[in-house]
Copies of this chain bind each other. A is one copy, B any other.
Amino acid sequence: MSATSFVIFGATGDLAQRKLLPALYHLRGKGRLPPNMRIVGFSRTPHTDASYRDAMFDAVRATAGLQVTRAQWAAFARNLYYVPGDLDSFDRMLDLKARLELLEGKRRPADRLFYLSIAPGLYETAIASLGATGLAVEDTGWRRIVVEKPFGRDLETALRLNQVVSTVFHEKQVFRIDHYLGKETVQNLLVFRFANAIFEPLWNRNYVNNVQITVAETVTAGDRGAFYDQTGVVRDMVQNHLLQILALVAMEPPSTADAESLRNKKIDVLRAIRHWKPGQARQHAVLGQYNGYRREKGVAPDSATPTSVALRLYIDTWRWHGVPFYLRTGKALAQKLSEVVVQFTCPPHRMFSPESDECLGSNVLSLCLQPNEGAHLRFETKVPDQGMTTQPVDMEFHYQSAFKDRAIPEAYERLLQDALAGDASLFIRSDQIEESWRIVEPLLAPPGGPHGIPVRPYDQRSWGPDAAESLLEQDQRSWLLTCGKQG
C-alpha cells in the first residue's frame, strides 16, 4: 500500500490558506487525492497538529470563504499535520523528515511533494535543505517540488535558481507553477485551436491582422505595496501569465497533448519573439504607474515601479511574420477582465460598399478568459431593411449557460492534481522561464538609465497612460474588448 505526503513550506501563509488547503479540501471531497495522502505543514509559527488544524479551520473560512462545517473539516483535517521550524535549520528539517517517515510507515511507494509556498528569497535555502537532509532522494518513492512564481527576478537570478534547483532535482521533478495555466479558459485555448478544424486554417498571417491580450485588474497594490514595489507589473504579470497565454495562442500544433510536446511548441514561440536591441524597447513598450501608487503603504515615495504595461511584440516565424501581438496588463485599470482578441484581416473585396476605402468591421474572435468565460465571434450581418447595409454583431458562447450544472474549478485544483499525478503539461519548464526573462529584460532597465523606459502616470480606473493607446494608433489600430459587453 502506498503513501503520499504533500508538504507545504509556508503552511500558515496566505497562499496556503486561500488556495492550497481549499483546493486540497475540494479534491479530497471529489475523491481525487491519492489514497493515504497526508498534508504536512511546515512553518516557523509554533503549532501542534491540533492547533494547526483549528487555526486553518478558521483561516479557510475567513480568508478563502470556504463553506465547511466543523465536522467536515475534522474529517479532512485528520490527514493534516504540522511540523514547526525554520527552513535553514538542519535539525528542524530532520524533524520533518522523521515525521514523514513515521507517517509513511512501511507503505511503499512513499511519495513526497514539496510545495514552496514561501517568500522567493527562501527558495534557495529550502532547496538546499531538502538536498542536505536527503528529503529529496527518491529512495522510497518519487520526490517532486512545486515552485511558486516569481521564479527569479531577472534572467540572471532565474538562471541561478534553475542552477540551484538542478543540483537537487531533475527537471522532471520540478513543477514551476503559473496558476493562469490552470484556468479552464486558458487550457481551452488549446482545445479551441486544435480540437476544431475551422480555426487553424485562419490562424496565420494571411488572415490575422493582429492579436491582443489584455489581463486587467481593477485592484491597486493595496496592502501588498511593499512586495509589489519590489516586483512591478513586468515581473508580476508579463514574464509569466501574459507570455504563457501568448505562447498558447501562437504555438504550432503539437503532435500530442503530453507535457514535452506542448512545452516544446511553447518554447519555440518564446524563442521566436523578436529581440529588442538596447534602447529599442521604448518604441514598443509603454510603462505606467497609477496616480496615488506612491502613497500606498510600503511603496517608496519616489518609486519608479511600473503598475501597467502595454507592449507590441513580433513573432518571427513563417506563420506570424508581420503580425503584431499587443499585450497589456496592470493594476487600477478600468475593468477586471482577461481576454484574447484575434482581429482578422478585412475582406479582400468590398462588394457591398465598393465606393468605401474603409475596412468595414473586420472579424474579431474574442476568447474570454474571465470573468465572462466564453467566446465571441464578431461578424458582419445585414441590417434588416432595404439595401445591403451591414453591421457587426457577435455570435456568443458562455460557459455559464453551456455548463450550468458544472462549476468551473479553481485553477489550483487542476494544478495540484496534475503535480500529484506527475503531469507537467501545465507547468513551466526551465527553458521557458529563462527565455521569458530574456524577452522582458529590456523592460526592466532602470527608467532613468540610458535604455530605460519612462514610467507614465495614469488615472485609476482608466486603461493606462494615453501612450498605451498611441502604441496601437501608430499602427492604425486600437485596443478591442468584446467580452465585457454581456453579462
Residues of A within 8 A of B (CB): 32, 184, 187-188, 190-192, 194-202, 206-207, 253-257, 344-352, 354, 360-363, 375-377, 379-386, 388, 390, 393-397, 399, 402-403, 406-409, 414, 417-418
Contact = CB atoms under 8 A, between A and B. Distances in A.
B379 A196 contact: yes
Contact of A381 (B191, B344, B345, B390): B191
Given A202-B202, A394-B397, A395-B395, A348 B197 contact: yes
Q: Which 9 A-B pairs have the closest CB atoms?
A: A195-B380, A395-B395, A191-B382, A395-B397, A188-B382, A197-B347, A393-B402, A198-B363, A384-B408
A420 to B, nearest CB: 11
A253 B197 contact: no
Contacts of A184: 382, 384
A272 B394 CA distance: 34
Nearest to A360: B195
B417 A386 contact: yes
A352 B254 CA distance: 10
B187 A257 contact: no
Contact of A352 (B32, B257, B386): B257
Nearest to A425: B388
A410 to B, nearest CB: 11
Given A384-B407, A408-B384, A409-B385, A194 B352 contact: yes
19 contacts: A190-B382, A190-B388, A191-B352, A191-B380, A191-B381, A192-B381, A194-B347, A194-B351, A196-B363, A196-B379, A197-B346, A197-B363, A201-B207, A253-B351, A254-B351, A257-B352, A257-B388, A384-B407, A396-B397
Contacts of A377: 377, 395
**Chain B CB within 10 A, most for which of A207, A253, A388:** A388
A408 B217 CA distance: 41
A383 B403 contact: yes
Contacts of A195: 347, 350-352, 360-361, 380, 390
Contacts of A395: 375-377, 395-397
